[in-house]
Chain A
């Protein structure tokens, strides 16, 4: 596995898309800190960008890279090496490359402009999203035979997580506004890794007060160490769930 990881990472280190991602994040983060006088406000804008952009980049890049390296994956699969080692090496390399790019593009400006707990939480949440959506991207690429269809499914998944899920929750809250449904909505929000990342960061900038009763419940639950641990576990489940399905799929897949 480490051999596949090593050489895939060397390949990814010179990949223009990965370099572009690092520069894009750097440009956006530096730009926001430059135009906003208050770094805390820049952070809030950055949260919205990260929660939308990171899942999109991780999904689409993983899907496209997986399809483009299919013939090479076939060549690896005819070597005396287990399929699980090939997939583990490739997944680890993809996650590492995107995390390093994000560390450079997002982590560096945060350390320079706003070295506090909220910035750290944004970095961690962003890293969690990289892992989750890289795993989802790999699963999509393994399940769909055609590249265009795979990218289409990836964009649909992104759309569902980033926009549709929130819209549905809002509609639910609006429809049942006469009832105390927040205690049920909070766990539902936590099921979406993007929402969870957003909530965790928002709580660190003490924005919960602006989020009304829901904010109070978020604060009550996710404000504690136990709540953060639950959030981390949910994010890990979102990573390991698709990853396990990917391994099962790849083991049986006709290449």
Chain B
């Protein structure tokens, strides 16, 4: 297998007395989509935020393409991020926001991928102010911002929440393209049905610890189920029975 694109080594994050993430050791590879799941408060968002540099790990280190990330923001050039909640400066237009992000990332027109703007119907709304957009349209803008720079690493936090099924499918289609081009895609989602077709591996977090990370096929085969939503409870029951403290 190729060298890992992202490596978490003994990563822990403590907020006050609470450890949101503990002793996380995991690697994510080029050309794969990993779905990160777990109950509320299990550490999914903290894992993502550590990778993005939004929070500093209390212990351990994270490496991207072999380089341990520190205060240098340049590693984020390779990352596209679609947050769960999209809030933008109210008085800017969609076009101005896209220009701003392009300027900040130092992209030129030859590099940016604007297909999704047209596919999601945003091309006719570029002059519309962000304050006038519905939640779903803001999510579309957020998806465009994440995918426009053709990222090597795509991080999506509940990407289909608030999107209509057609738009969700288009966004996930572009995420699949990132994988096909050798990118690494990390997705957290509660809507497993929408994302499971895309996932190569499933990482399950609970109480800030990674309980398992398994290939999707293996989970379905070992449980004899067709869908992740049914396979996952069975797998968790088995692991509990086997004393794996899940």
Contacting residues of chain B (84-115) with chain A, CB-CB under 8 angstroms: 85-92, 96-97, 100-101, 103-106
Is there an interface contact between B73 and A81, defined as CB atoms closer than 8 Å? yes
CB distance from A48 to the nearest CB of B (A): 33
Cβ contacts under 8 Å, B79 to chain A: 78
A109 to B205, CA, bound (A): 63
Is there an interface contact between A74 and B88, defined as CB atoms closer than 8 Å? no
Name which of A11-19, A162-170, A195-203 contacts chain B: A11-19
Is there an interface contact between A77 and B54, defined as CB atoms closer than 8 Å? yes
A252, closest chain B residue (CB): B56
Please, how many residues of chain A have a CB less than 8 angstroms from a CB on the other chain?
30
CB distance from B30 to the nearest CB of A (A): 20
CB distance from B74 to the nearest CB of A (A): 5
A8, closest chain B residue (CB): B89
Determine which of A68, A76, A254 lies in contact with B104 in the assembled complex, contact meaning CB atoms within 8 Å.
Answer: A76
Is there an interface contact between B76 and A7, defined as CB atoms closer than 8 Å? no
Decide if B52 is an interface residue (CB 8 Å cutoff). yes
Cβ contacts under 8 Å, B71 to chain A: 82, 251
Is there an interface contact between A7 and B100, defined as CB atoms closer than 8 Å? yes
Which residue, A70, A76, A79, A83, has most C-beta atoms of chain B within 10 A?
A: A79
CB distance from A255 to the nearest CB of B (A): 4
Cβ contacts under 8 Å, B74 to chain A: 80
Is there an interface contact between A78 and B53, defined as CB atoms closer than 8 Å? yes
Is there an interface contact between A3 and B100, defined as CB atoms closer than 8 Å? yes
Chain B interface SS verdict (over half): mixed
Decide if B55 is an interface residue (CB 8 Å cutoff). yes
Chain A interface SS verdict (over half): helix
A219 to B15, CA, bound (A): 53
Is there an interface contact between A3 and B76, defined as CB atoms closer than 8 Å? no
Q: A80-B74, A252-B56 are in contact. Are A15 and B104 (CB under 8 A)?
A: no
Is there an interface contact between A79 and B76, defined as CB atoms closer than 8 Å? yes
Is there an interface contact between A75 and B96, defined as CB atoms closer than 8 Å? no
Is there an interface contact between B92 and A7, defined as CB atoms closer than 8 Å? yes
Is there an interface contact between A78 and B81, defined as CB atoms closer than 8 Å? yes
Cβ contacts under 8 Å, B75 to chain A: 80
Is there an interface contact between A71 and B83, defined as CB atoms closer than 8 Å? yes
Chain A interface (Cβ < 8 Å from any Cβ of B): 3-4, 6-8, 10-15, 68-72, 74-83, 251-252, 254-255
Decide if B230 is an interface residue (CB 8 Å cutoff). no
Is there an interface contact between B76 and A78, defined as CB atoms closer than 8 Å? yes
A12 to B81, CA, bound (A): 25
Determine which of B15, B55, B83, B90 lies in contact with A75 in the assembled complex, contact meaning CB atoms within 8 Å.
Answer: B83
Is there an interface contact between B91 and A71, defined as CB atoms closer than 8 Å? no
Determine which of B54, B90, B103 lies in contact with A3 in the assembled complex, contact meaning CB atoms within 8 Å.
Answer: B103
Determine which of A7, A68, A82, A251 lies in contact with B96 in the assembled complex, contact meaning CB atoms within 8 Å.
Answer: A7
Is there an interface contact between A74 and B83, defined as CB atoms closer than 8 Å? yes
Q: List 7 A-B contacts (CB under 8 A).
A: A12-B91, A69-B87, A75-B83, A75-B88, A77-B52, A78-B54, A254-B56
Is there an interface contact between A10 and B96, defined as CB atoms closer than 8 Å? yes
A10 to B101, CA, bound (A): 14
Q: Beyond the given A11-B90, A80-B74, could you list 16 further A-B residue pairs with CB under 8 A, ordered by the A residue number?
A: A4-B104, A6-B100, A15-B90, A68-B87, A72-B87, A72-B88, A75-B81, A75-B88, A76-B104, A77-B54, A79-B101, A79-B105, A81-B104, A82-B71, A254-B15, A254-B56
Is there an interface contact between A255 and B55, defined as CB atoms closer than 8 Å? yes
A76, closest chain B residue (CB): B104
Decide if B77 is an interface residue (CB 8 Å cutoff). yes
Decide if B238 is an interface residue (CB 8 Å cutoff). no
A15 to B52, CA, bound (A): 30
A82 to B73, CA, bound (A): 6
Determine which of A14, A80, A252, A254 lies in contact with B91 in the assembled complex, contact meaning CB atoms within 8 Å.
Answer: A14
